[in-house]
Amino acid sequence: MSSDQEPVKTICPYCGVGCGIQVQPGDEPGDVQFMPWGDAPVNEGRICIKGGAATEVVDHEDRLTDPLLRDDNGEFREATWEEAYEYIVDELERIREDYGPDAMGFFASSKVMNEENYLLQKLARRYGTNNVDNCTRMCHASTVWALRTSLGAGAMTNSMRDLREECDLFWIQGANPGEQHPIANSQYFRQAVLEGATVIQVDPHANKTTRSFQIDDTDRHQHLQLNPGTDIPLLNIVLKTILEHHADHPDDGWIDEEFIAERTEGFDHLKATLADFDKEAAAEECGVPLEAIELAAEKYATADNAAIFTGMGMSQHACGVDNVQNEINLALITGNLGRAGTGVNPLRGQNNVQGTCDVGAMPNVLPGYQLVDDDEARESVEDVWGFEIPDEPGLTNVEISYEAGDSVKGLYVMGENPVMSEPDANSVADRLGDLEFMVVQDIFMTETAEFADVILPATTWAERGGTVTNTDRRVQRMRGVGKVHENTKHDREILTEVGMRLFDEGFDFDDPEEIFEELRQVCPSYHGMTYDLLGEEGLHWPCYEPGDEGDPFLYEDEFETESGLGHIEGVEHTPPAETPDDEYPLILTTARLEEHYNTGTMSTRSPTLNRQTPENFVDVHPEDAERYGIEDGEYVRLRSRRGEITLEAHVTEATKEGVVWTTPHFAAASANKLTNHVLDERAKIPEYKAAAAEIDVDIEPVDRAAGDD
């Protein structure tokens, strides 16, 4: 590549770690290459396989390059932007007039930037509805709910840097940073382990995280391989073990009595919940030896600084809020909050899922997590926006999808693919087909776009600028090179045009910085930030006033709850909605791979990533394989009550007997055709991590091409 242009510093578009990379533009549009950014604040030049391959999709042959409209024969034809805008505005106005504003739903995207998500949620509310949501509903909605309710903020309590420097014990439950957050795992967690930290991993599946910590004295670390859906009883064993030891040996300091007395509420409720709890029976239900869980409890309780890392293995359950609450209970009774090297830390899955929530792209909150039904908060935002905001929470994205064709008549989708990402995906596709109108703006023709009436070609992550917020609350700037395809548009350009055509005011922004200036007026935790202050290092929120350097860890003096106290609440086991029976005798659980990303829109189009894992597979325990007559590498049919997929069987002890494990990345055999749509009643997150399943040998396998999202 020969170019006189300087490389552009930006942020990797994949997971939530927030690694800095550089993009080197070439002489021709689309001729862009990856370059390391040696002193990037989060990753210091290191990059994982996905980040190194990220530029491969920028000029992919499948890119959408022109607006598309569905004609009278149901086929797509190329259209002008003017035609597309007129049709969108006419349909939005028709639906509002015929059915009211709540007949529309709006899907924001963690693949795009804070400014663009801010515009979309503002557009929805100016339209008259709070029916706006994003993919956190599918990954960490229950985590956000529990953290906000019990501590004050729905985000990591600590920064990765302070955890690497100060943490003595990493309790990793339902997360697999070795594959899902590789740079956090190698640069932060593994480095701390080399310097003496201990790892307790709680996960039904042995994975790269399990293996990555077997680097020194492996007896120091533990992998508690529990049965899917038994996280509450396992944590209750840990909690009761700590309480019992403290009762017999109060001077050992396994609980922090002073911290409990001064900074928490609800401790008596926890003790009452555990009073008659049977540890032996619970250990049998978990499928983990009791002595192993008790040893893990001792290690956590005796560490100087212990930090909990939580992931979708905890959140994606019908009891997801209770799962995370029990982790909070563990941190609070031991005083492991409010200082460096401690806390409860959700590892966010997408490049900007934290920021998409921060800016209010959720049905119950405005920017800065201000509740829509809080009169004072709502009025403070209305003063800036100049219009009234609906005062009742809207529908979540899963609820919108399930109301499609009934109370919901239209859908505006920015950069999301619910036909692949939502549970019971076959029925989601059926319902989207019943909508009167749907617009999709994206970079590729996704499975969801196939159902649209209008498709708008957006630009990729490498072509535009704005801000994103990583998993530890660091707001960073992304910077773009020139457009690859002349007739594509940035998401913000599309949204400002639609907004101005609909409302004549309030959406007249010329660039991302101008949008950010309005965002920080209405988002208290961003109020002290400006583009200049963000610079190349970024800032951790909360940053209330210009000059604030942001907080690397939260709650040093008090929690941000109404009482100022951390909330402890005992929880009892709730089994998965589906458990094995004679018809479906196995438990299906799901997770992601290092080489691929969510629904595969980008990663399955990357030659480098697709070479690593070109199609889906299912892990089967050797005892189950023998029982079903399955050979390693043989194709099998995996079924649930919602559908079936055909995929290759990997016979391995990485999964437990009775448990089958697969991924959602590949369209031809996505796990989400099988997953259960039952929801946590508070957070409305689906139960992806446990469903009853059956497996049999597939004599004539179907075409297993990797699919395009």
- What is the model's pTM? 0.95
- Is position 564 within any domain? no
Query: What is the side-by-side strand order in the sheet with 32-36?
Result: 8-11, 20-25, 32-36
Q: How far apart are CA 141 and CA 409, in angstroms?
A: 25
pLDDT band at 4 (very low <50, low <70, confident <90, very high): low
Residue 4 lies in a domain: no
Checking if the pLDDT of 217 tops 60, the result is: no
Residue 189 lies in a domain: yes
Last residue of a domain, one of 472, 507, 540: 540
CATH number at residue 286: 3.40.228.10
Q: Same domain for 166 and 130? A: no
Domain with 658 in it: what CATH number? Answer: 2.40.40.20
Separation of alpha carbons 14 and 50, rounded Å: 7
Same domain, 402 and 529: yes
| Peptide bond before residue 542 is cis, with ω within 30 degrees of 0 | yes
Residue 25 lies in a domain: no
Q: State the Rg of the chain over Cα.
A: 24
What CATH number does the domain containing 115 carry?
3.40.50.740
By residue range, what is the domain housing residue 671? 586-697
- The reply to whether 384 and 522 lie within a common domain is yes
User: How many Å apart are CA 267 and CA 344, to the nearest integer?
Assistant: 18
Q: CA 540, 543, 549, 553: dihedral to nearest 10 degrees?
A: -50
3-state secondary structure 574-641: CCCCCCCCCCCCEEEEECCCCCCCCCCCCHHHCHHHHHHCCCCEEEECHHHHHHHCCCCCCEEEEEEC
What pLDDT band is residue 215 in, cutting at 50, 70 and 90? low
Could you read off the pLDDT of 77-120 as tens digits, one per residue?
999 999 999 999 999 999 999 999 999 999 999 999 999 999 99
In a domain, 45, yes or no: no
Q: What percent of the chain has pLDDT over 90?
A: 86
The pLDDT of residue 708: 35
Q: Is residue 171 part of a domain?
A: yes
Q: Mean of the pLDDT values across residues 149-160?
A: 95
Q: How confident is the model at residue 612 (pLDDT cuts 50, 70, 90)?
A: confident
**Residue where one domain finishes, among candidates 346, 377, 404:** 346
364 and 491 share one domain: yes
pLDDT tens profile 21-69: 999 988 777 788 899 999 999 999 999 999 999 999 999 999 999 999 9
Average pLDDT over residues 511-523: 98
Same domain (yes/no): 174, 268:
yes
State residue 705's pLDDT score: 44
Amino acid found at 65 = T
Which of residues 346, 381, 401 is at a domain's end? 346
pLDDT at residue 704 greater than cutoff 80 = no
123 shares a domain with 209:
no
Residue 14 inside a domain? The answer is no
Overall number of domains in the chain:
3
Average pLDDT (158-186) is 93
- Mean residue pLDDT across the chain: 94
662 within some domain = yes
Residues 188 and 225 in one domain: yes
Are 134 and 145 in a shared domain?
A: no
In this structure, the answer to whether residues 394 and 480 fall within a common structural domain is yes
> What local confidence, expressed as pLDDT, does residue 546 receive?
87
Side-chain half-sphere exposure of 631, counting CA atoms within 13 A: 3
**What per-residue confidence (pLDDT) applies to 410?**
98
Q: Taking a C-beta distance cutoff of 8 angstroms, is the pair 344, 331 a contact?
A: yes
In the prediction, which pLDDT does 709 show?
Answer: 35
Query: Of 276-280, 315-319, 610-614, 638-642, which gets the smallest average pLDDT?
Result: 610-614
Q: Are 145 and 108 part of one and the same domain?
A: no
Quick one: 97 and 162 in the same domain?
Answer: no
Q: Does 253 lie in the same domain as 120?
A: no
